[in-house]
Structure 1
Amino acid sequence: MNAMMRRVVIGTAAVSMALSVAACGKAGDDSSDSGSDSSSSSDSKTIGLLLPDSVTARYEKFDKPFFQAKVEELCADCKVEYANAAGDAAKQAQQVSSMITKGVKVIVVSAQDSAAIKSSIQTAVDKGIKVIAYDRLAQGPVSAYISFDNVKVGELQGEALLASLGSKATAKSKVVMINGDDADPNAGQFKKGAHNALDGKVDIAYEQSGLWKDTVASQKMSAAITQLGAKKIAGVYAANDGMAGGIATTLKGAGISGIPLTGQDAELAGIQRIVAGTQSSTVYKAFKPEADAAAQLAVNLLEGKDIKSLANQTQTSGSGDKVPSQLLTPVSVTTDNIMDTVVKDKLYTVAEICAGDYAKACKEAGIE
C-alpha cells in the first residue's frame, strides 16, 4: 500500500513537471510572437517626424501640419508618428528610440543638437531605418538633407541691416550681433553669411550667442548696452525673430528706437514688429515647400524609390558625412514686400497682421 502511494506521488510529480515545462515552452512562444509583432510593425508604412522645440512658432503651426498633409497626399496608407523635443536633446534621443520601437521605416528629424543626436541616428540606421535631416544638418549617416541655403540667409540678414543703415553704415558704426545656438549647425552658417555681408562695412562691437531664446537674447542685449552705451549702437543683428522679440523689448526699455533690427523665420510677431517699425527685416523661408519636399523624400525612401532628382546637391555634415541635399531659396522681407511674400503665400492674412494696435501702422505702410 505504501509502495503504491509512493508510485502515485512520483507519477503526480512527473505530470506536474511536464506541465511546468510545457508552460515554460508556451511562455517562450509568447515572447517569440511578441518579437514577430514587432518585426511586422517594422514592415508598416510609418514615418517618424521629430521637431526640436515648441518655442519657435513655425514647427507646431506650420511644419508639422504641412508635412502630415503632404505625406497623406502622397501615400494614403502611410502613418506619421510625431514628437517634439521641447528644446531637450536627451528627450529627442529618447524619441528616436521610441520611433525605432514603434517600427518606423523613415525618420525625419530636425536635431535639437546636431552632434548629440549622432549616436541615435547610427542606431536607427543599424536597424534599417532611413533618416532625413530636416532644416538642420544632423551628424551621422543620414540619407538626405532638406533645408534652405543657410549662408545665404545670413547674407540676406546682413544686407538688410546695411540697407536699413543707409549712409550710417560705416566702418565705425557699432553693431551688436546676437547669434543662434552653436549646437545648431545652421547657426554657424547664418553667422558666416552675416559676417560675409557685414565685415569691413560696420564694426561688430559685441557678439554673443542668444541660444535661440528671447530671454537670453534680451540679457545679451542689456549687456551690450552697458558695455557700448545706448547712444553708440547703430544696429542689431538678431539671428531669428524669437530673439528679436526679446531684443526689441530691451531696446524699448533702454529708450533706444529707430535702429535696424534683423530677424528670421517670418513669425507673425516679427512681421508685426516690422509693420510697427521696431524690427527692420526678417527672412522668409517658405515652410510649405520645405515640409512638402521632406515628405516627398520620406515617401520615396519608404517605398524604395530614387531620390537623386530631389536631393541633387551635397552638403558635408559636422561628422564629415557627404549628404545628398536639397536647398531652397530664402527671401528677405521688409515692409516693402510683406504683401508679395507672406500674404501672397497665405502664411498670414492682412487681418491677422493688422489686428488691434497694428491697424494704424498697417494703413500707413500700405498693407490693407
Structure 2
Amino acid sequence: MKRNGMRMIALTGAVALGLGLAGCSSGADEAASSNGGDGAAAEDITVGVAMPTETSERWIADGEAVESQLEEAGYDVDLQFANDDIPRQQQQLDQMITNGADILVVASIDGTALAAQLENAAAKGIPVIAYDRLINDTEAVDFYVTFDNYQVGVQQAQSLLRGLGYLDENYEETDLTDEKIIEIFSGSPDDNNATFFYNGAMDTLKPFLEDGRLTIGSGQEDFDTVSTLRWDQATAQRRMEDLITSTYDGGSKPLDGVLSPFDGISRGVITALENAGYGFSMEEGLPVLSGQDAEIASVKLINDGVQYATIFKDTRKLASQAVAAATSYAEGEDPEANDTETYDNGVKVVPSFLLESDIVTADNLSELLVDSEYWTEDEVASGVAE
C-alpha cells in the first residue's frame, strides 16, 4: 500500500510538504510526499540512527551494521551513540530532527523517556522505527524491528535446562528427575525487552519449579528483585556476591545453574562464582549459565567450557530489516509487518517485524558464528574482536 502521508525530500532538495495535514499523530502519517507519495532518491534522504551505548560490543556492531547498510543503499546517515545517558539521547534526537533527518531509527535507553522528541518528529512528518527496543507511551512510533523477544527468553531457559540435563540436544525433555538449585537474573527494568525475556524464561522453567526438580535457592524470583539496571556487569557481580554470602555460605553450598539474560551479566556472575571457589570451568564445578548476544568474550568462555550457552541474535539481519523498513518509508510504502498484535506500547499496538534467534553452545558455535563470518576462529580463540 502506498503511503501518501510520508515525509519526503524533493528530488531537488530537502523540502517536506503537507505538514499541515490534520488528524494524524505518527510521523509516517503526518506529511504528504513531495512527489505524490512515490518516494525520493536515496541520496536525498538522511536517516538518523540513535543507539543507546558504546559500552556493549553488541550495540557497536548494531550501529555499524545499520550505518553501513544504509550507506550501501545510498542514504546519508547520522549515527549517534548516547553512552547510556538518557538526556544525551534526547539531545541527539532533537539535533537530528533540527538538522533535517527524514527518517529516525531509534534504539532507546529508556523506552518511556523519548515521547517529547518523537512527538516533535511526528509533527514534522518524520517516521520513527523502533530498533530492537520498543518505545512506550507514545503514538509517535510507526514501526518496530526486533527479534521474537519472548522466544529469546524461552531459548535462554531451554539452554539452561539442557545444560542441567533436563533437555536433550533436540531440546526435548529427558527422564532426569534429579533436584537442582538455580538462581535467576533478569535485565534492565527500563528496557521493554527485559520483561519479554523474563516472561519467556519463567514460563519455560515453571513446570520444573512447580514439580520440585528446580529450586531457586535464594527464593528471589519476581522481576523487580532479580532485575539488573542497565544490564550492568558490575551490578550483576555484586548481586551474585551477595547471594553467595546470604544463601550459599560464602560458596560452600552447591549451586547448579544461573539463568542469565545477557552475556555481560553472565560474565559478572562468573567472576563472583570463580572468586567464591566454584571453579573456573563447568568441569571444575562452575554452575551452568545461559546468556545472550554472542559477545566475543562470552563466546570464548563457551568455547572454553566456562559459560554454557548464549543466544545469537544476528545484528546483520536486524540491521537489514531496519534498512528495509526505512526504504519502504522512503518509497512511500508501509513496511512489511509479520506481527500486528504483540507489541502494545501502552498507547497503540506497534506493527512489528520479528526475527528468529539461535541457541549457541560449544557444539554448534563454529557452525553458527564462524561459518556465518560473524566471528573468526582467531577471535573465538582470543576472546577479542579484531
Q: TM-score range by the shorter chain?
A: 0.7 to 0.9
| 1:235 alignment partner in structure 2 | 257
* Residue 220 (structure 2) pairs with residue 206 (structure 1): yes
The 8 Å contact of residues 42 and 102 in structure 1, kept in 2 or not, is answered as: no
Q: CA deviation at 1:58?
A: 1.4
User: 1: distance between equivalents of 2:178 and 2:375?
Assistant: 38
User: 2: distance between equivalents of 1:190 and 1:289?
Assistant: 20
Unaligned runs of 5+ in 2: 1-12, 17-43, 167-174, 209-213
The 8 Å contact of residues 51 and 82 in structure 2, kept in 1 or not, is answered as: yes
Shift in CA distance, 181/291, structure 1 to aligned 2, threshold 3 Å:
same
Q: CA deviation at 1:133?
A: 0.3
TM-score (norm 2): 0.77
* Residue 203 (structure 2) pairs with residue 188 (structure 1): no
The 8 Å contact of residues 87 and 112 in structure 1, kept in 2 or not, is answered as: yes
User: 2: distance between equivalents of 1:260 and 1:171?
Assistant: 15
Q: CA deviation at 1:169?
A: 7.2
Q: CA deviation at 1:320?
A: 3.1
The 8 Å contact of residues 132 and 147 in structure 2, kept in 1 or not, is answered as: yes
Bigger mean CA offset, 348-357 vs 109-118 = 348-357
TM-score (norm 1): 0.81
Root mean square deviation, CA, Å = 1.9
| 1:313 alignment partner in structure 2 | 339
User: 2: distance between equivalents of 1:42 and 1:338?
Assistant: 49
Q: CA deviation at 1:240?
A: 0.3
User: 1: distance between equivalents of 2:58 and 2:15?
Assistant: 30
The aligned runs of 1:329-348 (5 Å cut-off) are 329-348=356-375
| 1:56 alignment partner in structure 2 | 56
Larger radius of gyration: 1
Unaligned runs of 5+ in 1: 1-39, 358-368
User: 2: distance between equivalents of 1:184 and 1:270?
Assistant: 22
Q: CA deviation at 1:102?
A: 0.6
Q: CA deviation at 1:122?
A: 1.6
The 8 Å contact of residues 115 and 318 in structure 1, kept in 2 or not, is answered as: no
The aligned runs of 1:297-308 (5 Å cut-off) are 297-307=325-335
User: 2: distance between equivalents of 1:244 and 1:194?
Assistant: 15
User: 1: distance between equivalents of 2:241 and 2:65?
Assistant: 38
| 2:306 alignment partner in structure 1 | 278
The 8 Å contact of residues 171 and 200 in structure 1, kept in 2 or not, is answered as: no
Q: CA deviation at 1:172?
A: 4.8
| 1:5 alignment partner in structure 2 | none
User: 2: distance between equivalents of 1:256 and 1:330?
Assistant: 30
Aligned residue pairs total 313
| 1:265 alignment partner in structure 2 | 293
* Residue 327 (structure 2) pairs with residue 293 (structure 1): no
Q: CA deviation at 1:88?
A: 1.3
Task: Choose between structure 1 and 2: higher strand proportion.
Answer: 1
What secondary structure does 2:207 align onto?
coil
The 8 Å contact of residues 155 and 359 in structure 2, kept in 1 or not, is answered as: yes
User: 1: distance between equivalents of 2:318 and 2:338?
Assistant: 15
Shift in CA distance, 169/59, structure 1 to aligned 2, threshold 3 Å:
farther
Matched letter for residue 320 of structure 1: V
* Residue 253 (structure 2) pairs with residue 253 (structure 1): no
What secondary structure does 1:206 align onto?
coil
The 8 Å contact of residues 41 and 102 in structure 1, kept in 2 or not, is answered as: no
User: 2: distance between equivalents of 1:261 and 1:312?
Assistant: 32
Matched letter for residue 146 of structure 1: V
Q: CA deviation at 1:65?
A: 2.1
* Residue 92 (structure 2) pairs with residue 95 (structure 1): yes
Shift in CA distance, 170/242, structure 1 to aligned 2, threshold 3 Å:
farther
Matched letter for residue 115 of structure 2: K
Q: CA deviation at 1:56?
A: 1.5
User: 1: distance between equivalents of 2:308 and 2:120?
Assistant: 44
Task: Choose between structure 1 and 2: higher helix proportion.
Answer: 1
